[in-house]
Structure 1
Amino acid sequence: MEVRELLEADVELVCRHREEMFRDAGRSEEVLQAMTQHFRDWLRPHLRDRTYFGFVACENGQPIAGIGLMLIDWPPHPSHPTSDKRGYVLNVYVEPEHRRRGLARELMRLADLEFAKRGVHFAILHATEKGRGMYAGLGWSGTTEMSKAVPAVPI
């Protein structure tokens, strides 16, 4: 297995992994299609300027797993009182036939190293039910975060 950094040319791979990850989590095809279309437009410039970065694991030159990373501008907080940034992990995906081999764990280890290299010492992620156990085993824990959809206001 080889691991390489994400490239601008990986836009379709990242989109496919993201869509498959949410499909595995039970999201509807209608929502996935709309999301992917808009995510692709968002992703291109972020891959280009490296504000979205990460890694791809390959076997025999074929991508088999990936992870996306970002730095989030965030005010100093009790969890990171001297820093105005958080790491954000997203789009962790391993192709089904390559699961249970430690690929996601290795990508998460590389994420930790990359964040540390960039001076970020606190990171967040949103876990699917399938991934929650692995993340907990790597030291991740739940937070007090809550969320809700904000209804559109007619103009």
Structure 2
Amino acid sequence: MPSDDIVIRSANPEDSPTILRHRRCMFEDMGEGTRQDLDRMIDATTPWLEHALADGSYRGWLAQKTGGHVVAGGGILVSSWPAGPFDHRTSRAVIINVYTEPEFRNAGLARRLMSLMIRTLKDEGFTSVVLHASDAGRYLYETLGFMPTNEMRLRLK
């Protein structure tokens, strides 16, 4: 699908329903969570996202067709984090919510969004960014220079 009639724009608090819909679709595509799990996720995330978009701790970008339909998006979450030996900032950037609607995949939209977010973080002086990759997104992230890390997870529930 050609992407020449699609523009990338910044998200605002009114875009919360679209971002949340994409977030849910992202987890559904990965086969993560039951319907009830995803319903609870959306219920819990809605007020958080509205607040985070308003205060700037979450910044999102959306790929929008000329007619107004948003077909892809992604965002940056910046949070307080202790400095490390190679990054002396006391904040950490995480790219989250990268999603492209199925009929618009393989048109370069995720690459455009990722490149914009990476450039934004570089311009702000960040020296690294992390993300969690789905199997479908891993190749793109690797072509952009992302590498696996030693992160591990223990589910406490």
With normalisation by structure 2, the TM-score equals 0.91
Per-residue CA deviations over 1:49-82 (Å, capped at 9, x if unaligned) read 11111210111222111001111222121341x2
1:63 partnered with 2:63: no
Q: Give matches, 1:37-52, under 5 Å.
A: 37-52=43-58
Alignment of 1:1-155 (within 5 A): 1-27=6-32, 28-60=34-66, 61-80=68-87, 82-151=88-157
Q: Which consecutive aligned stretches of 4+ in structure 1 deviate over 4 angstroms post-superposition?
A: none
Checking the alignment, whether the CA contact within 8 Å between 2:62 and 2:70 is kept in structure 1 is yes
- Gaps spanning 5+ residues in structure 2: where? 1-5
Pairwise CA distance, 1:121: 1.7
Q: Secondary structure at the match of 1:19?
A: helix
* RMSD between superposed Cα atoms in Å: 1.2
Contact 1:94/1:103 (CA < 8 Å) preserved in 2? yes
Q: Structure 2 CA distance, aligned partners of 1:39 and 1:9?
A: 14
Does structure 2 conserve the Cα–Cα contact (< 8 Å) formed by 1:74 and 1:85? yes
Please tell me the residue identity of whatever aligns with 1:129.
Answer: D
Query: How many percent identity over aligned positions?
Result: 35
Q: How far does residue 99 in structure 1 lie from its aligned partner after superposition?
A: 0.2
Q: Which runs of 5+ in 1 are unaligned?
A: none
